[in-house]
Amino acid sequence: MKKRIKIDHLSTLCVGLDIGSRNNYITALDFDSNPLINMRHVPNAVSGVEEMEPMILSVLDNNSQFKNLLIAMEAIAREKNYVLNNIFLKFSRFALPDGEGSPLSNKFSATAEAILTEYKTTEDIANALLEELVEFVASAGHGRFADPDQVAKLLQKAARDSYRPDKSLYEPITASIACSFNCIRAFEKEQKTLDKAIAETVAGLNPTEYQILRSIPGIGPVYAAGILAEMGSVCCFGNNNALAKYSGIIWRDNQSGEFDSDDTPMIKAGNRYLRYYLIQAAGSVAAYCPEYTAYYNKKYAEVPKHQHKRALALTARKLIRLIFGLLDNNQLYSAAKSR
């Protein structure tokens, strides 16, 4: 029986990876959620991995408190990363990022899956009749390719230029790729099912307010549903201050005489679930809305410590004013109304 390893979270650097078809995004946080690497993007290629390594090493070198390193990816991203490794083993040139002679930009499309699982070896692709390959690409892509002939030619060129693994490896690698695609499709199907169920439930309860929240860039069905489920009707609140107080996104005064402390802790009262959804939504809105991005960056630069937490909480407070104003006036979002 393996002994469980205890991790000291205070001395652990947490690195999160978001895997995309073209770019990977890396974020590194300490225990207080301060971003030491903030959503840096690198190419989804060997060069990108080579860029990430010195980023992480630099953080570790400049922060002696870290004794452990934890790297994690969400389930779909983890499976996509795994299948990309196997794709490279089987068909190395196919795994290249778009724009470098890669035949397909989306390595996880139905066409990519068909090519990687129906053709057992790269030799089969390289030696196939061009007319047959063109027909296969057009059929697998359901007629969506503007120039299937060009795609087929790129496939054959990539197949000829790829590394050749031992022939005994083709079958297990292909089986592994097929299993990974099945897992990815299953994860995506479950995610769509859950998102649809959430959207239908909330839309049936309060469709107007749901659509208003969904009109804000960065607020998807889950955040909109969570906010409405915990907030109820906006009619229950006289103003945005009342909504902020109910969610617990307000701060205590921390002063004595003429002294004003820079540290003003957030109150512990309020609906912690609503607070969670608002703060998470604020981070998402800051990623999609330029005004909120600028506001977050401004607040982040104002203090030397607790920068991320403070900036995110203040961005959430700004978002509350926007949400209350839109719901109270029964208006959809527009950039002009967000100011």
Say what the pLDDT of residue 11 is: 86
**Residue 204 — φ and ψ, nearest 5°?**
-70, -30
Question: Residues of the chain with pLDDT > 90: what percent?
Answer: 40
Instruction: Looking at mean pLDDT, say which of 47-56, 101-110, 168-177 comes out highest.
Output: 168-177
**How many beta carbons lie within 10 A of that of residue 267, not counting itself?**
13
Q: Pick the residue with more confidence: 49 or 63?
A: 63
Is the pLDDT at 322 greater than 60? The verdict is yes
Domain boundary among 19, 50, 73: 73
Residue 187 inside a domain? The answer is: no
List phi, psi (to 5°) of 45.
Answer: -160, 175
Q: Which domain holds residue 264?
A: 206-329
The reply to whether 68 and 93 lie within a common domain is no
- CATH number for position 42: 3.10.20
Report how far Cα 205 is from the mean position of its chain's Cα atoms.
Answer: 28
Residue 200 lies in a domain: no
Q: Would you say residue 190 lies in a domain?
A: no
In the prediction, which pLDDT does 258 show? 53
Q: What pTM does this model have?
A: 0.56
Give the pLDDT confidence of 326-336 residue by residue, as tens digits.
999 999 998 77
**Domain assignment of residue 196, yes or no:** no
Task: State the Cα–Cα distance between residues 89 and 293, nearest whole angstrom.
Answer: 40
Whether 232 is covered by a domain: the verdict is: yes
134, 62: one domain: no
Contact present, 289 and 276 (Cβ < 8 Å): no
* pLDDT of 1 above 90: no
242 and 306, same domain (yes or no): yes
Beta carbons of 299 and 286 less than 8 angstroms apart: no
Query: What backbone phi and psi angles, to 5 degrees, belong to 271?
Result: -80, 105
User: Is residue 338 a part of any domain in this protein?
Assistant: no
pLDDT in tens, 301-316: 988 877 888 899 999 9
Alpha carbons 120 and 9: distance in angstroms, whole number: 45
Helix (H, G, I), strand (E, B) or coil at 281: helix
Q: Say if residue 54 is in the same domain as residue 120.
A: no
Residues 19-50 have pLDDT tens digits of 665 677 888 888 877 888 877 888 876 778 78
Same domain, 216 and 308: yes
Check whether residue 150 and residue 41 sit in a common domain: no
Average pLDDT score over residue span 144-163:
90
Number of domains in the chain: 3
Q: Is residue 339 part of a domain?
A: no
**Does residue 132 sit in the same domain as residue 234?**
no
pLDDT in tens, 118-134: 999 999 999 999 999 99
Mean pLDDT (whole number) for 244-264: 69
pLDDT in tens, 261-294: 556 777 777 898 999 999 999 999 998 999 999 9
pLDDT higher than threshold 50 for residue 210: yes
Final residue of a structural domain among 166, 182, 198: 182
Mark whether 230 and 312 lie in a shared domain: yes
104 is a domain residue: yes
- In this structure, the answer to whether residues 323 and 217 fall within a common structural domain is yes
**What does the pLDDT read at residue 5?**
57
Q: Which of 73, 93, 127 is the last residue of a domain?
A: 73
My answer on whether 106 and 61 are in the same domain is: no
Lowest mean pLDDT among 172-181, 256-265, 326-335: 256-265
| Same domain? 34 vs 102 | no
